[in-house]
Structure 1
Amino acid sequence: MLRALTGRPDAQFHEGQFEAIEALVAHHRRALVVQRTGWGKSAVYFIAALLQRRAGAGPALIVSPLLALMRDQVAAAERAGVRAAAINSANVTEWNEIERLLDEGALDVLLVSPERLVNPRFRAEQLPRLIGTAGLLVIDEAHCISDWGHDFRPDYRRIRTLIAELPSDVPVLATTATANERVVHDVAEQMAAGGHEVFTLRGPLARQSLRLGVLELGTSWRRLAWLTQHLEELPGSGIVYCLTVSSAEETAAMLRKAGHEVLAYTGRTDQAERLAAEEALKANRVKALIATSALGMGFDKPDLGFVVHLGSPSSPVAYYQQVGRAGRATDNADVLLLPGLEDRDIWHYFATNAMPTRRRADGVLEALRQEGRPLSVGALESRVDLRRGQLELLLKVLAVDGVVEYGQGGWTATGRAWEFDKGRYDRIAEARVAEQHSMLEYQSTTGCRMEYLTRSLDDPASAPCGRCDVCAGAWFPTEVSIDSERGARASLGKVGVEIAPRAMWPQGLDTLGVTDDGSPVKGKLPAEQQVEEGRVIARLTDLGYGTSLRELFAPDREGAPVDRELPPALASACLRVLKEWDWSERPVAVAWLPSVRRPRLVESLGSGIARAGGLVALGPLRLEDERSVPAANSAFRVRDLWRRFSVPPEMAGRLRSLGGPVLLVDDLIDSRWTMTVAGRLLRLAGAPSVLPLALASVA
């Protein structure tokens, strides 16, 4: 079976593979396998599944976290003669056919996404039959079960219940390449549900093929200059990881302009484009994919020649998981980290959005209880102060805890009591901070880098590799040519990001008391009340001016906003944005938002533009409510903004006589609702059109 699976007549088991198969098939045990990427964990479960089928058991049920991983697993199974299929959100049209194959006993392996385990229909109609007949349960990337795993996946927590419901003689296999001792203990404890002993097989995690290095270059433009100059020197084809979507897209665009064959791969990339990009890399039609963590677990290109990081992941465990994509079937692969000055800010942003809070959870449960009927995510969004992504993540957590469920018509509360486990989430937050410090230590260590990474995963076999830049000296070029620097600075020095206008009001404003002279506010914004397309210098996550803007908006040591005059360099950048703005009619006046947090900054921006452009300085709108507007959700934000501003009578009189567009200026654009609501007031007061302008946008 192994030789059929690998297509090699001389194939032999790696150390531990046969023992894992034996534990599952001969003894029906529960086994946890922690082995480095490329060791052959899939061979263990495919062979065990076939042996169980030959013994008369049902198909193996494999819980797999990513669509890309599922596609590769199904393809690998079919090459080995294993009859496999997958059920996930991307192949809904195939579900009926897969159910027929299951009924006919024509499948050896069924892969499901963890999200299916939370789906009520799947749990009611399919899962009981699968559990009753399963010959094997496999939890791939099992670190996702654990709160301590670097890739927190709420849906995976349902697996704890699934394991407990299995017949006692069904073997269970959990596999991962990225687990420290705390994660191993947590996963093994869950697998032991029902009093079972867990057989743990842990191998050395060091990858002999990888050559690790860290190159400190400081600024984002020097890092991009280095990559532009040296990308083609890296072996084969590979992956360049970035921390944010905007930086990945910007880097890909710059590299393509410099003549490199690269493609962007992010959470914003269309599914069909993702598939095409994966195939292009596998076929070596591109030098690299410029990716976020969206290209992670399960992407399988055995001869991947390099992994470069523009910016550091937030933990050694996450870093090890991503660099493990390289050198799986080659003797040599290069791994280089180019840390960024902005890394800590980005870590903090993602960390504060990942975990639920008591206030958020209580708000969702109360909204569902008050409504007493199913609510879609969109309808629920209008009743709670959460962004769509935060709300969806929180619903998954609450669904796993059994206090909400999704059914026909949307989400409902189950009526079960729920207690927020503050201690648990505090411990997770502390662990995340410790991981960030550990990643900084990796960058500055004077010892072997591979030893540091494997020791971070509590590998007892950690030892110096003899290959990394600390052990053997820098193997990578460190110079950046003047021409490369000049080109990178010019590319990152570009200013101006378009900000699309809002055209539709969010749902549920009527339920929040938002009316226009007694009439409900809903549907499309009337054309005569809309603003035009706007501009900012850059996004806060951008590599170029994003750095200067992050410094401008950075709080003081106590976390309070810092108010200052607009720095000359950003003032010049703002004037460049105005000069290059392809508006149909030049603005004739400037108004600005009255700022509570940064009044000097906004005042200097608005009045400075008026002086430089010879425009009428209309001054600020009137602030009717000085309370801050912390709302993250669109409907709540509009509610809080609806009566916040007014147009002073003297400004209204001047607007009616101007006869041209008005620039509406603010410091920062987040949801775009502030510009939408304030711009509407200017339009109603007589402005022919309104052009929003800010220094930065959040995304």
Structure 2
Amino acid sequence: MEHLNTRDAVTPDPAPDLHEEALQVLRRLVGREDAVFHEGQFEAIEALVSGRRRALVVQRTGWGKSAVYFVASLLLRARGAGPTLIVSPLLALMRDQVSAAARAGVRAESINSANATDWDNVRQRLDEDTVDVLLVSPERLNNPRFRDEQLPELTRRMGLLVIDEAHCISDWGHDFRPDYRRIRDLIARLPGRGEARVPVLATTATANQRVVTDVVEQLGVDSDDDVFVLRGPLARASLRLGVLRMPSPASRLAWLLNHLNELPGSGIVYALTVSAAEDTAQALKDAGYAVAAYTGRTDPEQRAELEQALKDNQVKALVATSALGMGFDKPDLGFVVHLGAPSSPVSYYQQVGRAGRGVDHADVLLLPGTEDREIWQYFATTSMPDEHRARAVLEELERAGGALSVPALETRVDLRRTPLELLLKVLAVDGAVERVGGGWRRTDQPWSYDGERYGRVAQARVHEQNLMLDYENTTGCRMEFLARVLDDPQAAPCGRCDTCAGPWYPTGVGEQARAAADSSLRRVGVPVEPRTMWPSGMDRLGVQVKGRIPAEEQCGGGRAVARLTDLGWGGRLRELFSDREDSAGDGPIDSDLLQAAVQVLAQWGWTERPIAVVSVPSRRRPQLVRSFAEGIAQIGQLPYLGELSVRGHGPLTGPGGNSAYRLASVWDQFAVPETMAEQLQSAPGSGRQGPVLLVDEMADSRWTLTVTGRALRQAGADGVLPLVLALAG
């Protein structure tokens, strides 16, 4: 492995003709006749074009990694090479790269989920050899049609392979993606020896030495040459870092309400969850700020519009989750604020690196939260494959003897859609399954669970979390800390951060902002949408339902006090439903939470007022649910008809699991007591017509509410309106 550090690099007498040719291409690309290469750029280009080598470039965002692969692509094309294939992780990144390439005269196309109508035209242009650069996602490499029809020909003709955001290849990278592991197999199929070898370039702005070593190992597979590694200093002189501790979510939001306009230019406010981003954006909008939420729930078309709005400074900030990360390019981004800390310094540096690329000054502030570790733990556990479930998936595919779709698999294994799809990707990369027309099928390749590897990764994640806490508490230079975590040998004090030069940010919060934050976070009332369709394949689980739920058996739209992930009431509810040994456990509902539920009822806006209250029996918190229902009934002057009864052993599973299994676990497990049914079947004209308020502690899959509501409707209730304390997710 050859390393080149750009600060002390010496160009080894490059071929003058190649240097001049590359320089002219660069100047055409950037549209400036005085443009020159940054340190290391030409060395990387020369390694690819003259040496046809495999190379890893680790340079801070804004250094010009895209210039390396665009210049190299055009030089290789001029020498008769085929198109460059760029594997890029995000649609935003593809949009920016295709636009930049077009401005520079590079004929670039992309094949992704957002431009399906253009695929035939792109394929035709590839056949005509009028595409210089093709961008695809790593997931596209496993698309059956692309993998079987386009990729073999692309591999045969490819002039250069580029892996952007290459830290995603590594288990140790902060944003590891299973489909990136597929790239190693693609590299192994390329000619790696002799004159016909295809050069390969991997690029990233965030990689410590462990990630570098892992990526180099994968780049070097089946090659007769060392990997060329170009690694530059990662610290950016324009960034001014700081950490401000606030005692609560309300105080953090109040600080933002008070001081957002004092931050330079426009920027990004990062939150750890979708709910936190949406709540924060709403509070800032209510205060008159031009902001918008940008999360995994944002439609792809709207994401492009919001990205452009930020680039054009039409908004002060996007309040975003990590969905806005790699690939977003705004050189004059003035600030990045985090409400809650990411789970690793490497991930944090990747996000704050969005700021200060093309300006002399940008502010970066972290407002950590006491709930950060809970959120880190949740995401860490959901990303690890489970051996028992993996084997269950493989056994069902073997039993099927052919392809099964994901919905069909859901009725055979108790896994929700997103983790099931992630597990299938992991198994596909391991070679145990393959994606084909009609779904997924088992291969004949044996599979074993690599528990040792996953254990190492889990330990690494914990280490990264502890490093993030160390960053928050360090008394040394914050930029130097981040650079050292990234194994930058040139890490040094920056002289600008709050530990080097003292706090540069205001620490006070005005009473008006504090009151506005408190009011915003005390907002209650989240819709609980009714289920209208049964999951497919329920007959396999012994439940004879399918299609649409009859209207006369459906619940109406319900309400929850708040989501568990909300910034305001979410914290109280997470504590209430915690399984920790030091949690309060079961007990009567407290008056504040009951009043919050009353407030939800007051603003509901129903067309018919409920005529009675019924509760769902709870195993874990019977006092909580019963006192909740009785309190609502008393305050609303409604009769409390009691609890539904439980048949047999009751529901078979707790929270989690996929939709089909959740329905099967509660199906036919509740009944309407005879006395309750008599009250529901009162004769017309008796004043007993109207919906029943159905009270429960939490809505997760919503199948408990659907099944109990159906039972009440069948027993004579005119309608059922669910009311719960918490909405999961």
* Equivalent residues of 2:614, 2:695 under 8 A apart: yes
Counterpart of 1:425 in structure 2 is: 454
Alpha-carbon separation, structure 2, partners of 1:511 and 1:561: 40
Tell me which amino acid in the other structure corresponds to 1:639: A
Quick check: 1:505 aligned with 2:534? yes
Alpha-carbon separation, structure 1, partners of 2:28 and 2:257: 43
* Equivalent residues of 1:192, 1:198 under 8 A apart: yes
Quick check: 1:354 aligned with 2:383? yes
**1:567 positional shift:** 2.0
* Equivalent residues of 1:61, 1:136 under 8 A apart: yes
Q: From 640, 645, 653, give the equivalent of 2:665.
A: 640
* SS across alignment from 1:632: coil
Between 368-377 and 295-304, the greater mean CA deviation after superposition: 368-377
Q: From 520, 541, 548, give the equivalent of 2:565.
A: 541
Alpha-carbon separation, structure 1, partners of 2:690 and 2:95: 56
Alignment of 1:137-536 (within 5 A): 137-168=161-192, 169-195=197-223, 196-515=225-544, 521-536=545-560
Tell me which amino acid in the other structure corresponds to 1:651: M
* SS across alignment from 1:619: strand
Quick check: 1:591 aligned with 2:606? no
Counterpart of 1:617 in structure 2 is: 640
Tell me which amino acid in the other structure corresponds to 1:636: Y
**1:626 positional shift:** 4.4
Alpha-carbon separation, structure 1, partners of 2:150 and 2:133: 15
Alpha-carbon separation, structure 1, partners of 2:660 and 2:268: 39
Between 596-605 and 160-169, the greater mean CA deviation after superposition: 596-605
Tell me which amino acid in the other structure corresponds to 1:433: V
Alpha-carbon separation, structure 2, partners of 1:129 and 1:167: 14
Alpha-carbon separation, structure 2, partners of 1:533 and 1:127: 48
Alpha-carbon separation, structure 2, partners of 1:23 and 1:557: 59
Alpha-carbon separation, structure 1, partners of 2:274 and 2:129: 43
Counterpart of 2:14 in structure 1 is: none
Tell me which amino acid in the other structure corresponds to 1:423: E
Alpha-carbon separation, structure 1, partners of 2:129 and 2:144: 24
**1:478 positional shift:** 1.1
* Equivalent residues of 1:87, 1:110 under 8 A apart: yes
* SS across alignment from 1:85: strand
**1:659 positional shift:** 3.0
Counterpart of 1:518 in structure 2 is: none
Alpha-carbon separation, structure 1, partners of 2:461 and 2:681: 55
Alpha-carbon separation, structure 2, partners of 1:30 and 1:75: 26
Q: Which runs of 5+ in 2 are unaligned?
A: 1-24, 683-687
**1:8 positional shift:** 2.5
**1:561 positional shift:** 8.4
Quick check: 1:692 aligned with 2:722? yes
**1:124 positional shift:** 1.7
Tell me which amino acid in the other structure corresponds to 2:357: R
Alpha-carbon separation, structure 1, partners of 2:205 and 2:36: 21
**1:204 positional shift:** 0.9
Between 532-541 and 616-625, the greater mean CA deviation after superposition: 616-625
Query: What is the aligned-residue identity percentage?
Result: 65
* Equivalent residues of 2:167, 2:211 under 8 A apart: yes
Do the aligned partners of residues 81 and 570 (structure 1) sit closer, same or farther apart at CA in structure 2, a change above 3 Å counting? same
* Equivalent residues of 2:652, 2:665 under 8 A apart: no
Tell me which amino acid in the other structure corresponds to 2:698: L
Alpha-carbon separation, structure 1, partners of 2:580 and 2:78: 67
* Equivalent residues of 2:651, 2:665 under 8 A apart: no
Deviations 1:33-79 (A, max 9, x none): 11111111111111111111111111111111111101111111122
Quick check: 1:131 aligned with 2:159? no
* SS across alignment from 1:37: coil
Q: From 691, 700, 710, give the equivalent of 1:670.
A: 700
Alpha-carbon separation, structure 2, partners of 1:71 and 1:522: 41
Tell me which amino acid in the other structure corresponds to 1:617: Y
* SS across alignment from 2:681: helix
Quick check: 1:569 aligned with 2:592? yes
Q: From 47, 52, 71, give the equivalent of 1:47.
A: 71
Quick check: 1:107 aligned with 2:131? yes
* Equivalent residues of 2:336, 2:363 under 8 A apart: yes
Deviations 1:249-290 (A, max 9, x none): 221122112111112111111111111111111111111111
Alpha-carbon separation, structure 2, partners of 1:661 and 1:194: 69
Counterpart of 1:652 in structure 2 is: 677
Deviations 1:171-203 (A, max 9, x none): 111111111111111111111101441111111
Alpha-carbon separation, structure 1, partners of 2:228 and 2:57: 8
* Equivalent residues of 2:650, 2:670 under 8 A apart: no
Alpha-carbon separation, structure 1, partners of 2:455 and 2:641: 49
Counterpart of 1:65 in structure 2 is: 89
Tell me which amino acid in the other structure corresponds to 1:644: Q
Between 58-67 and 425-434, the greater mean CA deviation after superposition: 425-434
**1:382 positional shift:** 2.1
Alpha-carbon separation, structure 2, partners of 1:585 and 1:96: 54
Alpha-carbon separation, structure 1, partners of 2:32 and 2:671: 75
* SS across alignment from 1:293: coil
Counterpart of 1:90 in structure 2 is: 114
Alpha-carbon separation, structure 2, partners of 1:145 and 1:245: 26
Give TM-score scaled by structure 1 length. Answer: 0.97
* Equivalent residues of 1:118, 1:400 under 8 A apart: no
Alpha-carbon separation, structure 2, partners of 1:423 and 1:507: 37
Tell me which amino acid in the other structure corresponds to 2:291: V
Alignment of 1:2-21 (within 5 A): 2-21=26-45
Deviations 1:274-309 (A, max 9, x none): 111111111111111111111110101111111111
Alpha-carbon separation, structure 2, partners of 1:689 and 1:626: 24
Counterpart of 2:9 in structure 1 is: none
Alpha-carbon separation, structure 2, partners of 1:439 and 1:563: 35
Q: Which runs of 5+ in 1 are unaligned?
A: 516-520
Tell me which amino acid in the other structure corresponds to 1:653: E
Alpha-carbon separation, structure 2, partners of 1:593 and 1:358: 34
**1:643 positional shift:** 2.5
Q: From 556, 579, 582, give the equivalent of 2:602.
A: 579
Deviations 1:543-592 (A, max 9, x none): 1111111121122238x882222122112111111222211222222211
**1:381 positional shift:** 1.8
Alpha-carbon separation, structure 1, partners of 2:716 and 2:512: 51
* Equivalent residues of 1:37, 1:177 under 8 A apart: yes
Tell me which amino acid in the other structure corresponds to 1:649: E
* SS across alignment from 1:356: coil
* SS across alignment from 1:596: coil
Between 681-690 and 205-214, the greater mean CA deviation after superposition: 681-690
Deviations 1:399-454 (A, max 9, x none): 22222222222222223221111111121112112111111111111111111111
Between 375-384 and 502-511, the greater mean CA deviation after superposition: 375-384
